């Protein structure tokens, strides 16, 4: 049996394991051990080299090639654009930002003076964790809760009805003149930080645990390894660089040339990570990270963006069902142990009992494993790439509002907003540069070109059919009335930016 020999040099020689079983492993985050996903800190030199050759050098090239372009754009900056109410509603709900739509909690009704029995469909977008950010001198942040009304459960039309802003939760509405106009920039600022530090981290970091444990504990000729391995490349080193490198875009040094943010990493930005991963009690906008075990728990927004992402889940689930169906008892026994190790770090990852359960139990375990694998493969490819693509292509840099230099409104009556003072050229320069270096997709390996080391014709045929199913999803989007948020050919095979 494979399992009895795991860890010994015997029937399972060490060479059958990547890095001779001395590979990476998760451990508590050194920054926020109780509040964020585990991190993988000790990285194989082979992966570091691979990352530096394919991604590190690209950062250097972008810095020198795109730096001047960002400078030219910044020099042309005069003022932030006006934000019409309907354009704000559209930006908040048509794409990536619709991930923030959350049902109202009981205190929200009182806050906005709503009658819960009026039958209107309403959502909130809550960026209150930004209150813990301590911005650089002369810059400002403000917690916001935005109230939106939707015409119907599937309607694309939303109306922004109000924003509660600041520690006092001052409620502003579209008729409130200059204060209302100013509040909208702080809502957009919350969208940017919420995306980068709450929503997107849950797409990245929990999967490092599975990445490392797969490399560290599964033989390379195992179907589980063969299925996952093409989707694990670059991610451990990338995530480690983001979270721990002194050269990270999330910097501790205000003058880091490509850091567009309004505070140092240690001055409150981590509060977003914690809110997203641990959740906030009694706040529907921050349920906390849980590994999905059903379509309903994938956390998809009730919008076109959610329909787009969900469209791709089916092909992944079909692929993983076929591969899991082809695993023998020894391979499934490994999966049981693999899940046990993962659950040490991600409690919501499913248990996969196999060796000591009856036939029906074994079948249930195969189904749970197939779903869990589909969640991961779909996340690190489709979800991750689509989030970046939409953030980079649909939201203009001038709408990111990373740095705002006018205080938020504190009363309904406010003086007119001087849009030329909201941000400076240096802020726009950094934002343009970070956009090119870190936010826009920069694909090295594509999902559509993925090669698996499957050793049978049957599984090679499964792979071909998987690609066909992906192509059909992409081709059918227009007839289903769903926007193509990213073309299939641009989806990366792993988290690599
Ligand atoms: Fe990313």
Q: Number of folded domains in the chain?
A: 1
Q: How many whole angstroms from 1 Cα to the centroid of ligand 1?
A: 39
In a domain, 160, yes or no: yes
State residue 59's pLDDT score.
92
Q: How many whole angstroms from 393 Cα to the centroid of ligand 1?
A: 15
- Token readout for 375 is 């969640």
DSSP state letters, 381-436: IIIHHHHHHHHHHTS-GGGT---B-SPPP-SSS-PPP-GGGSS-HHHHHHHHHHII
Please determine, for residue 398, whether its predicted confidence score (pLDDT) is greater than 70.
yes
Q: How many whole angstroms from 386 Cα to the centroid of ligand 1?
A: 10
* Cα separation, 116 vs 451, whole angstroms: 53
Q: How many whole angstroms from 175 Cα to the centroid of ligand 1?
A: 38
Q: How many whole angstroms from 416 Cα to the centroid of ligand 1?
A: 37
pLDDT grade, residue 270 (50/70/90)?
confident
- The kind and range of the H/E element at 211 are helix 206-217
Q: How many whole angstroms from 444 Cα to the centroid of ligand 1?
A: 13
Q: How many whole angstroms from 184 Cα to the centroid of ligand 1?
A: 26
Q: How many whole angstroms from 40 Cα to the centroid of ligand 1?
A: 16
Q: How many whole angstroms from 254 Cα to the centroid of ligand 1?
A: 22
Q: Specify whether the CB–CB gap between 400 and 188 falls below 8 A.
A: yes
How large a percentage of the chain has pLDDT more than 90? 89
Q: How many whole angstroms from 354 Cα to the centroid of ligand 1?
A: 34
Q: How many whole angstroms from 13 Cα to the centroid of ligand 1?
A: 36
Please determine, for residue 415, whether its predicted confidence score (pLDDT) is greater than 90.
no
Q: How many whole angstroms from 497 Cα to the centroid of ligand 1?
A: 5
* Cα separation, 387 vs 377, whole angstroms: 15
In DSSP terms, 147 is beta-bridged to: 124, 162
Q: How many whole angstroms from 236 Cα to the centroid of ligand 1?
A: 12
Q: How many whole angstroms from 181 Cα to the centroid of ligand 1?
A: 31
Q: How many whole angstroms from 3 Cα to the centroid of ligand 1?
A: 35
Q: How many whole angstroms from 383 Cα to the centroid of ligand 1?
A: 10
Burial pattern 255-293, b for ≥16 Cβ within 10 A else e, equals ebbbbbbbbbbebbbbbbbbbbbebbeebebbeebebbe
Q: How many whole angstroms from 478 Cα to the centroid of ligand 1?
A: 27
In the predicted model, what is the mean pLDDT of residues 117-126?
94
Residue 277's domain is classified under what CATH number?
Answer: 1.20.245.10
Q: How many whole angstroms from 92 Cα to the centroid of ligand 1?
A: 20
State residue 9's pLDDT score.
45
Q: How many whole angstroms from 378 Cα to the centroid of ligand 1?
A: 14
In the predicted model, what is the mean pLDDT of residues 477-487?
97
State residue 2's pLDDT score.
45
In the predicted model, what is the mean pLDDT of residues 187-193?
98
In a domain, 154, yes or no: yes
In a domain, 496, yes or no: no
Per residue in 83-92, pLDDT (tens digit) is: 999 999 999 9
In a domain, 495, yes or no: no
Which bin fits 306, alpha (ψ -120 to 50), beta or left (φ > 0)? alpha
Q: How many whole angstroms from 379 Cα to the centroid of ligand 1?
A: 11
Q: How many whole angstroms from 14 Cα to the centroid of ligand 1?
A: 33
* Cα separation, 38 vs 167, whole angstroms: 32
Per residue in 343-379, pLDDT (tens digit) is: 999 999 999 999 999 999 999 999 999 999 999 999 9
Reference 144, options 120, 179, 116, 178; nearest CA is: 179
* Cα separation, 146 vs 104, whole angstroms: 10
Please determine, for residue 339, whether its predicted confidence score (pLDDT) is greater than 50.
yes
Q: How many whole angstroms from 200 Cα to the centroid of ligand 1?
A: 7
Please determine, for residue 119, whether its predicted confidence score (pLDDT) is greater than 90.
no
In a domain, 497, yes or no: no
Q: How many whole angstroms from 470 Cα to the centroid of ligand 1?
A: 22
Radius of gyration of the chain (CA): 24
Q: How many whole angstroms from 228 Cα to the centroid of ligand 1?
A: 18
DSSP state letters, 149-206: EESSTT-S-EEEEEEEETTTTEEE-TTSHHHHHHHHHHHHHHHHHHIIIIIHHHHHTH
Give the residue numbers spanning the domain of 161. Answer: 2-490
In a domain, 457, yes or no: yes
Q: How many whole angstroms from 60 Cα to the centroid of ligand 1?
A: 18
Burial pattern 102-116, b for ≥16 Cβ within 10 A else e, equals bebeeebeebbebee
Per residue in 211-262, pLDDT (tens digit) is: 999 999 999 999 999 999 999 999 999 999 999 998 888 877 888 899 999 9
State residue 118's pLDDT score.
87
- Token readout for 83 is 């934000």
Q: Specify whether the CB–CB gap between 91 and 393 falls below 8 A.
A: no
In the predicted model, what is the mean pLDDT of residues 375-395?
97
Q: How many whole angstroms from 384 Cα to the centroid of ligand 1?
A: 6
Q: How many whole angstroms from 388 Cα to the centroid of ligand 1?
A: 6
Q: How many whole angstroms from 351 Cα to the centroid of ligand 1?
A: 28
Q: What is the mean pLDDT of the chain?
A: 94
Per residue in 16-73, pLDDT (tens digit) is: 889 988 899 999 999 999 999 999 999 999 999 999 999 999 999 999 999 999 999 9
In the predicted model, what is the mean pLDDT of residues 281-285?
97
Q: How many whole angstroms from 435 Cα to the centroid of ligand 1?
A: 12
State residue 15's pLDDT score.
59
Reference 230, options 21, 463, 389; nearest CA is: 463
State residue 4's pLDDT score.
47
Q: How many whole angstroms from 410 Cα to the centroid of ligand 1?
A: 35
pLDDT grade, residue 12 (50/70/90)?
low
pLDDT grade, residue 14 (50/70/90)?
low
């Amino acid at each position: 049996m494979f399992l009895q020999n795991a860890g010994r040099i015997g029937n399972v020689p060490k060479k059958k394991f990547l890095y001779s079983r001395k590979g990476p492993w998760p451990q508590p985050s050194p920054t926020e051990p109780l509040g964020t996903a585990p991190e993988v800190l000790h990285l194989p030199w082979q992966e570091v080299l691979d990352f530096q050759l394919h991604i590190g050098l690209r950062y250097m090239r972008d810095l020198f090639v795109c730096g001047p372009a960002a400078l030219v754009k910044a020099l042309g900056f005069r003022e932030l654009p006006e934000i019409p109410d309907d354009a704000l509603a559209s930006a908040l709900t048509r794409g990536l930002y619709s991930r923030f739509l959350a049902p109202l909690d009981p205190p929200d009704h009182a806050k906005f003076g709503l009658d819960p029995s009026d039958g209107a469909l309403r959502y909130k977008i809550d960026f209150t964790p930004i209150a813990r950010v301590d911005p650089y001198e002369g810059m400002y942040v403000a917690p916001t809760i935005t109230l939106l009304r939707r015409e119907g459960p599937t309607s694309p039309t939303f109306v922004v009805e109000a924003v509660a802003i600041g520690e006092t939760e001052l409620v502003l509405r579209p008729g409130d003149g200059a204060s209302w106009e100013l509040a909208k920039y702080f809502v957009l600022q919350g969208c940017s930080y919420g995306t980068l530090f709450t929503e997107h981290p849950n797409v990245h970091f929990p999967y490092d645990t599975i990445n490392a444990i797969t490399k560290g504990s599964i033989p390379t000729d195992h179907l589980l390894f063969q299925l996952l391995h093409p989707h694990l490349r670059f991610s451990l080193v990338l995530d480690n660089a983001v979270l721990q490198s002194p050269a990270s875009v999330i910097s501790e040094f205000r003058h880091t040339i490509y850091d567009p943010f309004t505070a140092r990493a240690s001055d409150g930005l981590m509060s977003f990570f914690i809110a997203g991963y641990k959740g906030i009690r009694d706040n529907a906008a921050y349920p906390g990270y849980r590994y999905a075990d059903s379509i309903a728990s994938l956390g998809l927004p009730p919008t076109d963006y959610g329909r787009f992402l969900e469209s791709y889940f089916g092909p992944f689930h079909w692929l993983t069902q076929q591969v899991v169906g082809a695993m023998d008892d020894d391979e499934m026994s490994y999966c049981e142990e693999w899940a046990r190790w993962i659950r040490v770090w991600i409690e919501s990852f499913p248990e996969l009992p196999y060796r000591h359960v009856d036939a029906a139990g074994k079948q249930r375990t195969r189904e749970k494993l197939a779903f869990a694998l589909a969640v991961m493969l779909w996340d690190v490819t489709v979800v991750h790439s689509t989030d970046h693509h939409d953030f980079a292509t649909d939201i203009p840099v001038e709408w990111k509002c990373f740095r705002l230099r006018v205080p938020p409104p504190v009363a309904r009556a406010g003086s007119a907003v001087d849009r030329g003072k909201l941000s400076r050229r240096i802020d726009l320069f950094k934002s343009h540069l970070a956009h090119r270096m870190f936010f826009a997709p920069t694909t090295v390996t594509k999902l559509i070109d993925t090669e698996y080391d499957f050793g049978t014709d049957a599984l090679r045929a499964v792979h071909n059919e998987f690609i066909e199913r992906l192509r059909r999803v992409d081709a059918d989007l227009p007839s289903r009335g769903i926007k193509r948020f990213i073309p299939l050919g641009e989806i990366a095979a792993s988290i690599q930016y």
